Amino acid sequence: MRQRKSADDKDRFENPNAFRRKEMTTSSSHLTFSSTRVFVICLTMRMANSLLVQTYFNPDEHWQALEVAHRFTFGYGHLTWEWKKGIRSYLHPMVFAFLYKALALFHLDTPLFMIKAPRLLQSIFSAVGDLYLYKLSRVLFGDHVAQWALFSQLTNWFMFYCFTRTLSNSLETVLTLVGLYYWPCIRASSSEGHSVSRKWGLVVAALACAIRPTSAITWAYVGLLELLSARDRPKFIFLEMAPIGVLVLTLACLLDHLMYGSWVLVPLNFLKFNFLSSGGDYYGTHKWHWYFTQGFSVMLFTFLPFSIAGIIRSKQWKLSGLIAWVLGLYSALGHKEFRFVLPVLPIALMFSGYTLASIGKSDSSYGKRKGSTSIQTKWPSKKHLAIFFLLATNLPMALYMSLVHQRGAEDVMNYLSEEARNGRVESILFLTPCHATPYYSTLHHNLPMRFLDCSPSEEKGVLDESDRFMMDPVSFASEFARNWSLPSHIVLFDSEEKLLTDFLIAHSFEEKRRFFHAHFKVDRDLQASMVLYSFKGQ
């Protein structure tokens, strides 16, 4: 017995992560799930998740993915200024273009399918991301932690709210989770680590960078770790990293050349606009500490203390360092958004899973010392309290944000899609801040539509249409109406409707429908509802 204890102490000292993984795996071997079972569970939950998401979050979900795919597939749709400047790759929109092609082929491009199918497709990708978070957690910490990491991932409010949306950040997050699983430097503490080819990790990393060039922030960190730990550095650089990177970049460039009609190096254009010229600042800036004090903290929400505790207890500094690296570099940019740091949110949630697993383990040990009665009374109460706290705080938030907050933008376009299908819409004018609703990808009818432009001006200090309208809605609308083609429908928020009532009546418009939008302030004003006006006789 003394000899066995001595061996265990040696293992604990020399390889603490492996020892913890062995302990946790042994204590929960009867709960081990197969990868197939985990994927089925995740897929079922993510598909339900995608159907529950009925609100508007970020314009890029529609305007930089579905709108582009719709234009390619059906021949009409709006391309924003980014596509004219060549700072977006067609790689991500083409995923949904294939979906639209399939819907059109089987005559399923009805309003319902056009609205739901893209998010259902993304839910499949999201389930793959969930599976690989589970697999990565299992490799690093064992089955018990993997199960709680998955629990954290599936119940975190922001993952529920954002992961099944058709943002390029969502697919980037999936690829990040898959890629990390295959990198030996991340799995170094595992005996299985070197049996997995890092070539797959390189392929996935290159693909993520092709879809979103900013993903290079993540993979530069991982690549540097691999370079420092690898024994075959020349092979890694010249026979793996360089050929795979060049191949994927070449294929992405060929696709963009085909779509743009000329040679366009998207990563370079993206770098020039967002980093060298700070073009993103046009859409607003935040303080340098925003991700730490507000953005990422809000995304983690009540999982935050569990994540911090997991980082400290696990001593898995490579992955916690990745979180700090990504948050630090994005903090140096003026323009900040929640979705930019989405790829490292699952990693933080994995550390929450580590803490939850540790709670159960420590309580179990305490119960054994105190007696069998304590196992039944002490252990469940502490574990259940943590679970109840996380569910009670995250699920209401997830459901409110997915079903209630900012749903008017989606509802008005869903309604107009049905009306257009029945021939009751001729043209639409959006007197709202630019990109406030989905567009042709939801309407799915080729009829004239007009929104207020907000493309960055070449001259500093020149206000765009959207800003001019928000500053003085009445003057802008009166001037705009002098040269307009009279629309059959006007969409606007109630905050501007109050100012434009006389204008609308004077031009023979009447209220058609009113859609609830939000209880709280969005951007500049409280946009409580979105209102649809129609020309009399429509």
Domain boundaries, the chain: 35-361+382-404, 407-535
Q: What is the pLDDT of residue 10?
A: 44
| Backbone φ and ψ of 463, nearest 5° | -80, 140
| 429 beta partners | 450, 490
Question: What does the pLDDT average to over 254-269?
Answer: 95
Residue 1 in this model has a pLDDT that exceeds 60: no
Q: Is residue 474 scored above 60 in pLDDT?
A: yes
What is the rounded average pLDDT of the residues 461-487? 93
Q: Dihedral (C-alpha) 23, 25, 31, 37: value to the nearest 10 degrees?
A: 160
- Model confidence at 214: pLDDT above 80: yes
Residue 388 confidence (pLDDT) above 50: yes
* Predicted pLDDT at 497: 96
Q: For residue 457, what pLDDT is reported?
A: 78
CA distance 25 to 433: 53
Angle at 420 between CA 466 and CA 120, to 5 degrees: 80
- The stretch 276-281 carries a mean pLDDT of 78
From the list 142, 147, 150, 213, the residue with the least C-alpha distance to 177 is 150
Q: How would you class 167 by CB atoms within 10 Å of its CB: exposed for 0-12, middle for 13-18, buried for 19 or more?
A: buried
Strand partners of residue 532: 491, 513
The per-residue pLDDT of the chain, averaged, comes to 89
User: By mean pLDDT, which of 2-11, 109-118, 346-355, 453-462 is the weakest?
Assistant: 2-11
Q: Is there a contact between 255 and 90 (Cβ–Cβ < 8 Å)? A: yes
Q: What is the mean pLDDT of residues 330-338?
A: 94
C-alpha dist (Å) from residue 263 to 49, 90, 206, 243, 257: 39, 13, 20, 21, 5
Query: Is residue 366 predicted with pLDDT exceeding 70?
Result: no
Tell me what pLDDT residue 462 has.
82
Question: Per-residue pLDDT for 77 more than 60?
Answer: yes
Contact 131, 35 (CB under 8 A): yes
Q: CB–CB of 443/449 below 8 Å? A: yes
pLDDT of residue 6: 46
DSSP, collapsed to helix, strand or coil, labels residue 462 as: coil
CA 483 to the chain's CA centroid:
40
Residue 190 has a pLDDT of 47
Which pLDDT score is estimated for 33? Answer: 72
Q: Three-state DSSP class for 258?
A: helix
pLDDT tens digits, 282-322: 788 899 999 999 999 999 999 999 999 999 999 999 999 99
Beta-carbon neighbour count of residue 495 at 10 Å?
19
Find the mean pLDDT for residues 67-81.
97
- pLDDT > 90? residue 245: yes
Which is more confidently placed, 360 or 413?
A: 413
What value does the mean pLDDT take over residues 520-533?
87
Q: Cα(221)–Cα(136) distance, rounded to whole angstroms?
A: 18
Alpha-carbon span 84 to 106, nearest angstrom: 32
- What's the pTM? 0.91
Band of residue 538 on the pLDDT scale cut at 50, 70, 90: low
- Binning pLDDT at 50, 70 and 90, where does residue 196 land? low
Question: pLDDT for 133-176, tens place per residue?
Answer: 999 999 999 999 999 999 999 999 999 999 999 999 999 999 99
Name the residue type at position 264.
Answer: V
Q: With pLDDT > 70 as the criterion, what percentage of the chain qualifies? A: 88
On whether the CB atoms of residues 287 and 334 are closer than 8 A, the answer is no
What is the rounded distance in angstroms from the CA atom of residue 322 to the CA atom of residue 224? 11
* DSSP category for residue 487: P
How sure is the predictor about 375, in pLDDT bands with cuts at 50, 70 and 90?
very low
Of all residues in the chain, the percent with pLDDT exceeding 90 is 79
